[in-house]
Amino acid sequence: MKRIRLGDLAHARSGDKGNRSNIGVVANSAAAFEWLARVLTAERVASYFAPMGIGNVTRYELPGIHAFNFVIENALSGGASRSLRLDTQGKALGTLVLELQLDAPEDRGS
Amino acid sequence: MSLRIGNGAGFWGDNLDAPVAIVKSGSLDVLTLEYLAELTMAILAHVRSKNPAAGFVTDFPELMPRLAPFLKERGGPAIVTNAGGLNPEACAHAAAQDLVAAGLEDWPIGVVTGDDLLSWIPTWISEGILFPHMETGEPISTVVDRLVCANAYLGAREIAEALAGAAKVVITGRVADASLTVGPAAAKFGWKWDDWDHLATSSVAGHLIECGAQATGGLWHDWSNVQDFASIGYPIAELGSDGACTITKPDRSGGLVTTATVAEQLVYEIDDPACYRTPDVNVDLTNVRMAQDAADRVAVTGARGTAPGRELKLSAVYRDGWTASGMVAVVGRDAEAKARAAGRIVIDRVERAGFVLENSLVEVIGAGDVAPGVVRVSPPYEVMLRVTVRDARRAAIERFCREIAPLITAGPPGIAGYASGRPQPKPAFGYWPALVPRYLVAPKVQVRTAREWAT
């Protein structure tokens, strides 16, 4: 099955709140938003970032701007003031999520 | 009737020239300067612990000599900033001295205090208030002996009150970032504090401009099509008395304002978009829409507001031992393996010196360790080894700081870049987000002339 890179359908930005990170994913079109609403689930994003040892992922929707907000618990191994990581604020996650590969449907309309 | 509010700083450390550039060419009614990240308060707490007269953002008073000529010539813009940090009165004192030196003795400066609750926490704990950590649920009593700051996020009302009291500079401590914009809008348009949709729209405007150039092409994914990053224009919100909101930037500045750059900022550092919480209003962002009205002009509509909660967010910071971090470059066909081995050598040597470190992390930057395991990268020929530690014992961290340099002669080959000296132990801090009932918080507004603040 053909694979589609999320970055070909959307753009994203990430940041921190305490030990959580959020990744806003903005679809490039209404059609892309509708398709991503089906396939870019919280579970899909959670499994993508699982190697980092993250916690629960919640997905919210902002249909007015064709966007999703993924809130990732325990994403920063302690948060900005405490984490030992170079990226203590989760700034890189928004760029990394764009490499997520999705299974393309046979006859995707857009 | 409309109001142009420009933001010239998105954090402490942001572009020093941006506030001057946006005042010079932005036709602003109001300049906001937002300096306080979660981490910033920890830094200010550390500074204040060494000097009770410090603890504010020194970038702000340093700006005054550069902004004073515009204030003198044009009578504005009004300036609203959270540069006060943990010591707004000392910040006002420092800024006032520069205004007086520039001949602006009568310039009215408003100071908002009352957010600093540190001295009350032990009393309130004894009265049975737990201040549970918002993520872990633990009571704050577990860290109360180590607290260095505890601040409520105040809202827009005191800022509006200061402006209504004729202040032309308003210096606050911890306030919600968006409130820096809501305050001047509410003061200008005379909105009521239950005019939820207007408060919601101006909160969205404040959220969109609070991080400076992040709304105008900074961080935008299509970075290679951003014109002139080096002179990127900082964002301006044009607000109408009817609740209209347009995001733009100064003419002939770098960067760009499109529905895409602004949309990316709307989703930045939010939680549930159906309830974006501020001290002023709970905002429903889910039906916010954006339209490109003209080049570099995006109209933002659809924000809806409801009454905010009966509690304010409390942002506390506690001491959490010591930390240090060291880096060296490692080159060669086995760069990643050599870097990991070198990292282990450092940790082993600290252990043999008698310190089993409580927390240590070896990262090989260039080999995928910014987000470990998420993206596979082909074997890199050169990497940065970064070793970072945290421990309650300062002596353990000091020992660690002496163990990076020996790698140059006693480690694997191909290690370079150790010219900047030993790392230094730094205090480590923990962040404690909680809620505080509004009735415990008593904000205060003082408006005085620069001459009075300067003495």
Q: Supply the DSSP string of B240-296, one letter for each residue.
A: ETTS-EEEE--TT-BS---HHHHHHHHTTT-S-TT-EE-SS-EEE-TT-EEEEEETT
Asked whether the predicted pLDDT for residue B229 surpasses 90, the reply is yes
A13 to chain B, closest Cα gap in Å: 6
A11 CB neighbours in chain B (<8 A) are 220-222, 260, 264
Q: Is residue A110 part of a domain?
A: no
A99 CB neighbours in chain B (<8 A) are 375
Q: Are B319 and B427 in contact (CB under 8 A)?
A: yes
Tell the burial category of B278 from Cβ atoms under 10 Å away from its Cβ (0-12, 13-18, 19+).
buried
B442 touches chain A (CB under 8 A): no
Q: Is residue A45 part of a domain?
A: yes
B327 touches chain A (CB under 8 A): no
Range of the domain at A87: 3-103
pLDDT digits over B145-191, tens only? 999 999 999 999 999 999 999 999 999 999 999 999 999 999 999 99
Q: Is residue A79 part of a domain?
A: yes
Q: Is residue A108 part of a domain?
A: no
Q: Are B265 and A13 in contact (CB under 8 A)?
A: yes
pLDDT band at B250 (very low <50, low <70, confident <90, very high): very high
Inter-chain contact B38–A49, Cβ cutoff 8 Å?
Answer: no
Inter-chain contact B289–A22, Cβ cutoff 8 Å?
Answer: no
Domain count, chain A: 1
- Average pLDDT for B64-83: 97
Q: Which residue among B135, B265, B428 places its CB closest to the CB of A19?
A: B135
> B residues 193-232 near A, CB within 8 Å?
214, 219-222
Stretch among B2-6, B51-55, B397-401 having the lowest mean pLDDT: B51-55
CA A39 to chain centre: 12
- Average pLDDT for B266-281: 97
pLDDT band at A78 (very low <50, low <70, confident <90, very high): low
Tell me what percent of the residues of chain B surpass a pLDDT of 70: 100
Inter-chain contact B264–A61, Cβ cutoff 8 Å?
Answer: no
pLDDT digits over B22-47, tens only? 999 989 999 999 999 877 988 898 89
Q: Are A24 and A67 in contact (CB under 8 A)?
A: yes
Inter-chain contact B267–A61, Cβ cutoff 8 Å?
Answer: no
pLDDT band at A110 (very low <50, low <70, confident <90, very high): very low
A62 CB neighbours in chain B (<8 A) are 266-267, 273, 285-286, 288
pLDDT band at A79 (very low <50, low <70, confident <90, very high): low
A22 to chain B, closest Cα gap in Å: 6
Asked whether the predicted pLDDT for residue B93 surpasses 50, the reply is yes
At A81 the pLDDT is 62
Q: Is residue A26 part of a domain?
A: yes
pLDDT, greater one: B48 or B283: B283
Tell me which chain B residue has its CA closest to the CA of residue A60. Answer: B272
Average pLDDT, chain B: 96
At A44 the pLDDT is 97
| Domains assigned to chain B | 2-115+153-309 (no CATH), 321-429 (3.30.70)
Find the distance separating the first CA and the last CA of chain A, reported in whole Å.
18
From the list B166, B17, B179, B160, the residue with the least C-alpha distance to B82 is: B179
Find the distance separating the first CA and the last CA of chain B, reported in whole Å.
38
pLDDT digits over B339-394, tens only? 999 999 999 999 999 999 999 999 999 999 999 999 888 899 999 999 999 999 99
A42 to chain B, closest Cα gap in Å: 14
Tell the burial category of B375 from Cβ atoms under 10 Å away from its Cβ (0-12, 13-18, 19+).
middle
Q: Is residue A12 part of a domain?
A: yes
Tell me which chain B residue has its CA closest to the CA of residue A84. Answer: B388
Q: Is residue A49 part of a domain?
A: yes
